[in-house]
Structure 1
Amino acid sequence: MHDLKGVVNDPEGLDNVMQISLRMVKRFCEILSMTGNLIYPTSSQLNNEDRVSIRKNEEFTQQRGFIVSASTSIWLPHSLKSVSNFLKDVNTRCQWDVLTGGNNVTELAQINTGTIPGNSITIIHNNMLILQESGIVEIRAFLIYAPIDALIVNSIVNGGDAKKVTALPSGFIISPDCCYSLGRDNNGNAQNGSILTIAFQILIIGPPNDNSISQKEQKSALTSFHTLLSSTVLKIKTILDCSD
């Protein structure tokens, strides 16, 4: 049921996947501005670098409710390219991505985008299908992904309406840290660290006419995101052998 070779070969299926991925990337970039109500907890539940926002979901293709977004940024003593390659590696993804449940993932389809090698849209699978787009240029890199239902993938591959498909993306933006040099490589080029920004989203389903989120739900969201952000940061730092 997950044979998606036709996605790459069929022009209509290819166009549909690219449309959905474009909206996914655009939506992810929009959440980084953290519009909506920012939560500033009085407890030490979140780190000072963490930002959490709640907004009402107006997306007609999703259940009504509230979307909770959270992000944090960390410094890593590795180059932008090294961090980008690490995040794209399907062999180590299960070590940091909670969506994998600790299980290995398989790349089912890949669509190259642009002229830079490695920039691509991919569909990966373990216990679910994940649509992902990754890219790298000189000043930044990104890896953005969202779970997507297998029935929806089959629909768009077979000519379904891609405009009715939505995805709630999470992911990473990687920026070079040009202010702190780690030395020079064999070619004399400065080796800098990088700043990794992580952002996650969840949808909280509420009554159709509810215009606010309860304190209990807000507290639960904070707890969930604190655990998710902290564990993901710790896993990435451990794999990359980075100490605080």
Structure 2
Amino acid sequence: MSAEFHQRTPLIPARQCYFARYCKKHTNGTWGVVDVSLENLFPYPQVQFRRRPSGCVIQEVGNRGSKVTWIEHVEVDNRSLHPLFRPIVSSGFAFSAKRWIATINRHCQWLTTSTARTAPTTDGVLIPQEGRESLLKLAEKMTKNFFNNINSCSENVWSGLPQNFAAQDVRLRYGNILKVPGKPSGNIVIFTTSIQIPVPMEVLFDFLRHERTRNRWDLLSNQRHVRELVYVSNGENPKKRVSIMQVNSSPNKIEILYLQESYTDETGSYIVYAPMDIMAMSKILNGGNPKFVSILPSGFSIMPDKAPGQGDGAVGSILTLAFQSVDRLSNKEYMPQSTLKIIDAILSTTVASIKDAMLFGIRY
């Protein structure tokens, strides 16, 4: 088998490896799954990562549940790491066994919520089961798209912003060409940056996900009223949810509808959102097929700036911001100065707004 392991930023190199996987069921009903690298047989051009015997033990417990014990044992060359991420990656926390367990938990919670006959929603509002399944599948599609767009996989070719711009450590690239019937096609531009903020992950996560503070960082919601129309909880923690956000410029005028997913665990958090057409959202809530809905996600990924218990001082946050926009003036051979200025302005303004809010306090 071959695989690439990523984090939610292009500033952390992908880990590539070939490996063999061995699965065995023991007599007591316990499964063992073990991976080991095979770089000696199938070498990559640059071998910077080897997966020593790693994997999991799965034991059946009561109430149709499972107990999973995960072990990660790797050999990795971290010399090319970006300084911002060196502490959290070098400690082993960024690609730790806890992250595998957290990913399994998230998937199981999603399956439970999507197949439940009822699920917690805003003020007791009930979304039909077909609509809830479609909404959760669309949110999953949106989040996967976001993660695929911002990682450092071999297919994502990133470039930097020229040094004469204000935003720092910016990476940008072209996505797929957007084709909408009746409108001229345009290139999708993806741009991202990462910053360190000396506040706990939970504080930053709550600020970025909450309806009452969205207009403090979202340029399209500035000086407008934001309301969470409905949400579906994804797990026991109510902050893990899929929401529909409505932005009004006046009481009777809807400017934007956002689909948003927010999720958090001890390894990190994310808030992913995308603007949606009212008609498309209506079809989804009535059980429409999310495969036919075009979506351009943007959002945030939050990691601790060091492993818990590592070094002196409190654990802060590393925030990765990533946005998508459609640009009909540029192509893969040429990006005009006007587009670069827009990218710089969006990132610089959003970063400044978030830092100001963290510095001067948050009121919900």
Which band: TM-score by shorter chain?
A: 0.7 to 0.9
Q: Does 1:24 align with 2:145?
A: no
Q: 1:168 to 1:193 in 2, by over 3 A?
A: same
Report the 3-state secondary structure (helix = DSSP H, G, I; strand = E; otherwise coil) of the residue aligned with 2:211.
coil
Distance 2:172 2:244 in 1: 28
1:65 aligned to 173, 178, 186, which one? 186
Report the 3-state secondary structure (helix = DSSP H, G, I; strand = E; otherwise coil) of the residue aligned with 1:240.
helix
Flag as ranges the 4+ runs of structure 1 deviating above 4 A: 4-8, 34-37, 58-63, 179-182
Q: 1:166 to 1:12 in 2, by over 3 A?
A: same
- What is the deviation of 1:41? 4.3
* % identity of equivalent residues: 30
TM-score normalised over the length of structure 1: 0.82
2:272 aligned to 139, 144, 159, which one? 144
Distance 2:312 2:215 in 1: 29
**What per-residue deviation string (whole Å, max 9, x for no partner) do you get for residues 104-147 of structure 1?**
20010000112333100000101210000000000100000000
Contact 1:6–1:157 (8 Å) recurs in 2: no
RMSD: 2.8
Q: Does 1:203 align with 2:315?
A: no
One-letter amino acid of the structure 1 residue matched with residue 208 of structure 2: L
Between 1 and 2, higher relative CO (CA 8 Å, sep ≥ 6) is seen in: 1
**What per-residue deviation string (whole Å, max 9, x for no partner) do you get for residues 70-97 of structure 1?**
1111111101111111112211111111
Aligned equivalent of 1:94: 215
Contact 1:8–1:111 (8 Å) recurs in 2: no
Aligned residues: 227
- Where does structure 1 lack aligned partners over 5 or more consecutive residues? 184-190
**What per-residue deviation string (whole Å, max 9, x for no partner) do you get for residues 143-196 of structure 1?**
00000011111122223322101210110000011267674xxxxxxx311100
1:109 aligned to 230, 255, 260, which one? 230
One-letter amino acid of the structure 2 residue matched with residue 196 of structure 1: L
Distance 1:233 1:11 in 2: 39
Aligned equivalent of 2:131: 13
**What per-residue deviation string (whole Å, max 9, x for no partner) do you get for residues 40-60 of structure 1?**
344512544111111332678
Contact 2:257–2:278 (8 Å) recurs in 1: yes
One-letter amino acid of the structure 1 residue matched with residue 194 of structure 2: S
Q: 1:202 to 1:219 in 2, by over 3 A?
A: same
1:40 aligned to 136, 155, 160, which one? 160
One-letter amino acid of the structure 1 residue matched with residue 234 of structure 2: T
Contact 2:161–2:171 (8 Å) recurs in 1: no
One-letter amino acid of the structure 2 residue matched with residue 73 of structure 1: S
TM-score normalised over the length of structure 2: 0.57
Q: 1:112 to 1:44 in 2, by over 3 A?
A: same
Q: 1:130 to 1:175 in 2, by over 3 A?
A: same
One-letter amino acid of the structure 1 residue matched with residue 269 of structure 2: A
Contact 1:139–1:176 (8 Å) recurs in 2: yes
Distance 2:286 2:184 in 1: 24
**What per-residue deviation string (whole Å, max 9, x for no partner) do you get for residues 204-229 of structure 1?**
247xxx9x4563x5322211110000
Distance 2:167 2:357 in 1: 21
Segment drifting more, 46-55 vs 94-103? 46-55
